[in-house]
Amino acid sequence: MCGIAGYIGRDQAAPIILDGLSRLEYRGYDSAGIAVYDGEKIHMQKAMGRLRVLEEMTQHGATLPGFCGIGHTRWATHGSPSDTNAHPHMNEENTIAVVHNGIIENYAVLKSRLEKKGYRFASETDTEVLAHMLTEYYRGDPVEAIEKVMHRVEGSYALGIMFLDHPHHIYAARKDSPLVVGEREDGKFIASDVPAILHYTRSVYYMENEEIVCLSNEHTRFFNVDGESIQKEPVTIDWDIHAAEKGGYEHFMLKEIHEQPQAIRDTVSPRIRENEIDLDDIGLDEEKIRGLRRISVVACGSAYHTGVTGKYVLEELARIPVEVDLASEYRYRNPIYEPDSLTIVVSQSGETADSLAALRDAKAHGSQVLAIVNVVGSSIAREADNVLYTWAGPEISVATTKAYSAQLAAFYLLALKFAQIRGTVTPERFRTLLDALRRLPGQAESLLAQKEKIQYFANHYLATEHIFFMGRGIDYALCLEASLKLKEISYIHSEAYAAGELKHGTISLMENGTLVVAVATQDALYPKTVSNIVEVKTRGAFVMALTTFKHNDMEKCADYVLYVPETEGPFMGSLSIIPLQLFAYYVSLGRGLDVDKPRNLAKSVTVE
């Protein structure tokens, strides 16, 4: 779901498309493909692995002559990485070619309908549905066919499309997945991100939701989803290429913080259908879920912190005992495996060495293993019995942000589904929680508007040497991640504590000017956390508090207060983490450090 590049003009298309895709490699991908019209047919070439494999296969585009084409680099979401699942996808007659970023949420229903009509599918992807649907509705007018497909498809998409009947045209459409159009005197371009075309033109159109574009050598025409012509004005890009790869953000970490609402949305939305949670793809039947006696969550680093939150949420909603282990400790403590238990292994990359070893140990002792991972076809995904994918897309910055948020969302889905099946929440409570889950992405977006306020505060604490985070319940789990994020990228000594534990030793470290970040979003625990704030303040600490808007009395006891929107208590971590990620980011930035590549750290820990 990662990169799109397309070209029509006076030059050979394939070398330009391959070059455009190479400028999107920073986004991550597992396969690549290209389709070019040569004057008679649409010829396609696809390859699993790095883009250079495709470049060598096509002699850098020389074996695919033609002046019109589309290309793609894929980050697998439906179907494991393979030549067959790589994009573009074509219909059976090889007359329509499609590349697609995003997720088609209702693809299973659409695929079933098409199969009943005799359409045959070659891949496991949701994208191939689009190629066959376009065939179903095509009656000579590509825009009309695209409109009909857009009216029937649910989910997010950026599409590049070629029709053999219209050989000197490229069509594109978008909904909730970015797409830009570029033009210059001798050519037109489509791309999922500006870097793909910035080498060729700085004049671009940003496509809005539910818009369609038709490109030819003579014109650039835009339409809405009802086929009505619309006028758009191009803008001139003044970024350099390095900045453009980050979408105009100074660092990938900041870009990925801003992508969290979409990561939550992409992980949650496809699994909510007609006010029910659909987790059929993870392979756990209702009898198994009802009979669960215990869950073990095993993970490392930030993934471990999502497991700590998951413990609180699963136990509160589904009433199943949950234990959480660091993967590096799990297999060495000789864990006890019981019948009717489930082991959940969490990993962004799906290659984390300690987590993979824990998975193998659990399976060797007869435990069923569910993996929560972000990479289709990864080792953990392949070896687990069942997989719940987090569709966060590729994450570049070493300090995780959006993958963490997507993992939290996965735990929410599990907890709600398990609670419903086990009858531990009423139907009314289930609907309330489901509505709150749907609202999370929008609420997360609203928090990003606090950036300047957070940066102002961070700039006053650039020289601090010690920071303490404290909270209770889910707030404590959140503090673990916030503290890790700060120490990862700022190199400041930071610790997180359950607020009630401070008086058991740590309060001796409090003195004038010590910075304490107190998180107090859980209503039932709010008065107790306030008492802990008073305790550290009487020892001279300076307290930055994070709470919900209804607790504005916090300003009477804390020195600085950040507010987050109200949501259901189990989901508060998804909102509270965003201001604290931004705090860590701005402290690191202010200290002049490499935010995206902190010293001594790797993105994926593939050795023990």
**76-105: per-residue pLDDT in tens?**
888 888 999 999 999 999 999 999 998 898
pLDDT beyond 90 at 602:
no
Output Rg (C-alpha) for the chain, integer angstroms: 25
Q: Is 175 a catalytic residue?
A: no
For residue 604, the model assigns a pLDDT of 60
Q: Which of 2, 68, 214, 300 is catalytic?
A: 2
For 115-134, write each residue's pLDDT tens digit: 999 999 999 999 999 999 99
Q: Which of 232, 288, 597, 603 is catalytic?
A: 603
Locate all alpha helices (DSSP H) within 77-126, ordered by sequence: 107-116
Question: Maximum CA pair distance of the chain?
Answer: 81
Q: Is 603 a catalytic residue?
A: yes
Place of tokens 């500006």: 194
For residue 606, the model assigns a pLDDT of 47
For residue 193, the model assigns a pLDDT of 85
pLDDT beyond 70 at 136:
yes
Q: Which CATH class is domain 3-245?
A: alpha beta
pLDDT beyond 60 at 434:
yes
Closest CA to 585 of 242, 249, 243, 254: 254
Interacting residues of 441 by C-beta distance below 8 A, sequence separation 6+: 261, 262, 264, 265, 268
Is there a cis peptide before residue 88, judged by omega within 30 degrees of 0? yes
pLDDT beyond 80 at 490:
yes
Q: CATH 3.40.50.10490 region(s) of the chain?
A: 253-445, 448-590
Question: Percent of the chain having pLDDT more than 70?
Answer: 99
Task: Given CATH 3.30.2350.10, say whether it is the number of domain 448-590.
Answer: no
Q: How confident is the model at residue 28 (pLDDT cuts 50, 70, 90)?
A: confident
Contact 437, 487 (CB under 8 A): no
CATH T-level fold of 253-445: Rossmann fold (3.40.50)
Q: Which two tokens stand for residue 503?
A: 């008086």
Q: CATH 3.60.20.10 region(s) of the chain?
A: 3-245
Q: Which two tokens stand for residue 451?
A: 């950036």
Helix/strand number for the chain, H first, E second: 20, 27
- Separation CA 571–CA 579 (nearest Å): 15
Q: Pairing relation of β-strands 180-184 and 386-389? A: unpaired
Q: Which two tokens stand for residue 455?
A: 């940066």
Place of tokens 């929560």: 372
For 216-243, write each residue's pLDDT tens digit: 999 999 999 999 999 999 999 887 777 7
Q: How confident is the model at residue 605 (pLDDT cuts 50, 70, 90)?
A: low
- What's the start-to-end Cα distance of the chain, in Å? 31
For 362-384, write each residue's pLDDT tens digit: 999 999 999 999 988 788 988 99
Compute the average pLDDT of residues 292-320.
97
Q: How many residues can be counted in the chain? A: 608
Exposure b/e, 559-572, CB count within 10 A at least 16 = b: ebbbbbebbbbbbb
For residue 78, the model assigns a pLDDT of 86
DSSP structure class, residue 176 = B
For 542-562, write each residue's pLDDT tens digit: 999 999 999 999 999 999 999
